[in-house]
């Protein structure tokens, strides 16, 4: 199990990240694992760093494909990504099980509340086109 990270531990240097990556690569833990497997577990979770879907579900390397986005929502981009994975999986769509993992205290709720309260405010976008684009509801 991973240790709990305190707020003062949040800053990680690039050098430390490179060191961690090299240590992982040196283990060869991923050697021989197919990507993606034909009968794989697909997990969609939130980007919230407090809730790692692999850790929550106790997944080992190769046991599933984990995708994350804001709120763990199925969006057109999510569907495109799953379709691309299907191309890697010998032209078939991913099969197996799909887990959509939501969690308590998700920031998407605050974002939805903010969007509702600021609907009459001008867009922060610098592009006139994007300020006219259709809003997607969560």
The CATH number of whichever domain residue 92 belongs to comes to: 3.40.1050.10
Asked, for residue 95, whether it belongs to a domain, the answer is yes
pLDDT of residue 98: 87
C-beta separation of 51 from 43 below 8 A: no
C-beta separation of 120 from 65 below 8 A: no
pLDDT of residue 64: 86
Residue pLDDT, tens place only, 54-70: 999 999 888 888 999 98
Structural Rg of the chain based on CA atoms: 19
Distances (CA, A) of 39 to 44, 57, 62, 80, 131: 16, 17, 11, 19, 42
Asked, for residue 20, whether it belongs to a domain, the answer is no
Q: Could you count the other beta carbons within 10 Å of the beta carbon of residue 35?
A: 11
Residues of the domain holding 66 = 32-118
Higher pLDDT, 23 or 134: 23
Instruction: Evaluate the CA torsion angle 42, 44, 49, 55 in order and state its sign.
Output: negative
Residue pLDDT, tens place only, 2-26: 555 555 656 889 999 999 999 999 9
Residue pLDDT, tens place only, 79-100: 898 888 877 766 665 567 889 9
pTM score over 0.95: no
pLDDT of residue 50: 87
Alpha-carbon torsion, ordered 8, 14, 15, 20, to 10 deg: 80
Asked, for residue 128, whether it belongs to a domain, the answer is no
Q: How many domains does the chain have?
A: 1
């Amino acid at each position: 199990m991973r240790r709990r990270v305190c707020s003062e531990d949040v800053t990680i240097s690039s050098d430390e990240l490179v060191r961690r990556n090299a240590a992982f690569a040196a283990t060869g833990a991923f050697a021989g694992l197919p990507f993606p497997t034909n009968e794989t577990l697909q997990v969609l979770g939130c980007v919230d760093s407090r809730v790692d879907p692999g850790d929550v579900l106790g997944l080992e390397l190769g046991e599933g494909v984990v995708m994350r986005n804001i709120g763990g929502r199925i969006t057109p981009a999510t569907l495109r990504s799953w379709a691309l994975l299907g191309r890697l999986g010998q032209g078939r769509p991913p099969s197996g099980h799909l887990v959509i993992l939501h969690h308590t205290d998700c920031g998407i709720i605050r974002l939805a509340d903010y969007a509702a309260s600021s609907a009459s405010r001008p867009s922060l976008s610098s592009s006139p086109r994007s300020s006219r684009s259709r809003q997607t509801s969560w």
